[in-house]
Amino acid sequence: MTAGEATGERVSASTGSSTPGSTTAGSSAGRRLRTITIDQAISSASNVLVSILAARALGVSDFGWFGLVLITYVATQGAARALVGEPLLVRPVEAESRPGEAIGTGLVLSAGIALVVVAAGLVTSTVQRDLGLGLVALGAFIPLVFLQDLGRYLAFATHVPRRALVLDLTWLVLLVVAIGVVLASGSGSLVLFVVAWAGSGALAGLLVPLSYRHSRIRLGLGWLRETWPFSWRYALSFASMQGASLGVSVAIVGIAGSRALGAVRGALLLLGPFTQFQAAAIAAGVAEVSRMEAGAAAVARHVRRTTTLTAGLAVANATVLLLLPDALGRLVLGATWAPTERLLWPACVQMVLLGLISGVRSALLGLKVVRTTTTLDIVGTAVTLGSTVVGAFVNGSLGAFWFLAAAQGVVAIMWWGTYLTRGRLPDPTIDPNRSE
């Protein structure tokens, strides 16, 4: 879909009634959302496959070290995504006309992050050789792996989600081939596994400059400087959520012990596919809303569609988890299944509440009220972290998860209250190239 086609689909703001173009817009948005759903299913399946294959290919110790490598990847990828990828969603015109600048900035920023990871790996290798070399291997591939992720966000921003689908399918195919070779070789090397995993993602990332070959790639930080009013707030939200996650882990270990943390990590692993889909649905929704030049009717229609999809999927996912046979649970989580099973009810409640937030979160971000959404993220982080700690004191991991579910309910009320009171219409005083 071209920019002209996307912006030509309108809803009558004065009457709130649909025009013929709005019907086309709704069906086009529905098709894009279906494509993104398929893409995210593939991405989630790939992540689960990596964890399963790592458990099979690596020894117990190296599997534990791989978990730290994976955490490093998630943290660095999330930081780079917040600074470069997510601001693309609220600047769709620039994403279409100047993708090379975003790609160039992404490469420079991720190269800097890669140097830090490689340096950390070299230092770590003096204490723990396998972990250190695994981090070095990850760092070597970070720029191109981030390019693969940035390509997905460019696809969302430009309303061509099939490009994201191609990128994720390519990584999945290359991953299966590469790790198949590792398994066939009988090697239990952490470094070789990381090379197969991250290297296949790097090869998939090479498709991105090929897809945008019409736009000159300009190495530098110009795109980051231009989008800084959005970028630093996205980064602050990401840092607050990562800090809360770390704080929750430390608190649970200190209060309830490592076994309780193992149960929590097991529950979060089961929720992983949904949370990744939710992130993609929000990203797609931000790109949709940021293009809208209509009023409350169009935004409300988007909120209903996205909320129905994500909440419906959360309910379906929760039903599957609650009916999961013990044999299958033990197959997936091993000995961790028993303590994790008792956390499924509060975990599923959390999942449904997260689904209910997706539509309003993407709407507010798409309307560029980034200052407000950052405040909501920080306040929400404080509420969930404090509630989890109190819950852990009351009843260990089970108390922590139920209190966290209650906190998610409060957060959902905050987001919906903000949307209903101030987020249903774009603010005409906001420059489309600036945040609040």
Return contacts of 111-114, CB within 8 angstroms, 24+ apart.
Answer: 111/142, 111/143, 113/76, 113/79, 113/80, 113/142, 113/146, 114/139, 114/140, 114/142, 114/143
Q: Please tell me the distance from the alpha carbon of residue 40 to that of residue 43, in angstroms, as a whole number.
A: 5
Q: Quick one: pLDDT at residue 7?
A: 32
Contacts of 42 (CB under 8 A, 6+ apart): 165, 168, 169, 172
Report how far apart, in Å, the C-alpha atoms of 359 and of each of 102, 301, 390 are. 26, 10, 29
Which pair of structure tokens corresponds to residue 435?
Answer: 């945040």
Q: What's the per-residue H, E or C state across the chain?
A: CCHHHHHCCCECCCCCCECHHHHHHHHHHHHHHHHHHHHHHHHHHHHHHHHHHHHHHCCHHHHHHHHHHHHHHHHHHHHHHHHHHHHHHHCHHHHHHCHHHHHHHHHHHHHHHHHHHHHHHHHHHCCCHHHHHHHHHHHHHHHHHHHHHHHHHHHHHCCCHHHHHHHHHHHHHHHHHHHHHHHHHCCCCHHHHHHHHHHHHHHHHCHHHHHCCCCCCCCCCHHHHHCHHHHHHHHHHHHHHHHHHHHHHHHHHHHHCHHHHHHHHHHHHHHHHHHHHHHHHHHHHHHHHHHCCCCHHHHHHHHHHHHHHHHHHHHHHHHHHHCCCHHHHHHHHHHHHHHHHCCHHHHHHHHHHHHHHHHHHHHHHHCCCHHHHHHHHHHHHHHHHHHHHHHHHHHHHHHHHHHHHHHHHHHHHHHHHHHHHHCCCCCCCCCCCCCC
Contact of 333 with 389, CB cutoff 8 Å: no
Q: Quick one: pLDDT at residue 16?
A: 37
Q: Please tell me the distance from the alpha carbon of residue 432 to that of residue 294, in angstroms, as a whole number.
A: 14
Boundaries of every domain in the chain: 33-226, 228-436
Per-residue pLDDT of the chain (436 residues; tens, 9 = 90+): 333 333 333 233 333 334 444 445 555 666 776 777 677 777 777 877 787 777 777 776 777 788 788 888 988 998 998 899 888 888 878 888 888 899 999 999 999 999 999 999 999 989 888 889 999 999 999 999 999 999 998 988 888 888 988 999 999 999 989 988 888 877 778 899 999 999 999 999 999 998 888 888 888 888 888 888 888 888 888 888 777 777 777 777 677 776 677 777 778 778 877 887 888 788 878 888 887 665 678 888 889 988 998 999 899 989 988 998 888 888 777 777 888 888 899 999 999 999 999 999 989 988 888 888 889 999 998 998 899 889 988 988 888 889 999 999 999 999 999 998 875 554 444 444 444 5
Contacts of 226 (CB under 8 A, 6+ apart): none
Q: What is the dihedral of CA 119, 125, 129, 131, to 10 degrees?
A: -50
Q: Please tell me the distance from the alpha carbon of residue 243 to that of residue 62, in angstroms, as a whole number.
A: 26
Contact of 213 with 84, CB cutoff 8 Å: no
- Does this model's pTM top 0.95? My answer is no
Which pair of structure tokens corresponds to residue 301?
Answer: 């229609």
Contact of 122 with 112, CB cutoff 8 Å: no
Q: What is the dihedral of CA 17, 20, 22, 25, to 10 degrees?
A: 170
Identity of the residue numbered 137: A
Q: What's the per-residue H, E or C state across 235-299?
A: HHHHHHHHHHHHHHHHHHHHHHCHHHHHHHHHHHHHHHHHHHHHHHHHHHHHHHHHHCCCCHHHH
Is residue 248 exposed (0-12), middle (13-18) or buried (19+ Cβ within 10 Å)? buried
Q: Quick one: pLDDT at residue 307?
A: 92
Q: Quick one: pLDDT at residue 30?
A: 63
Identity of the residue numbered 11: V
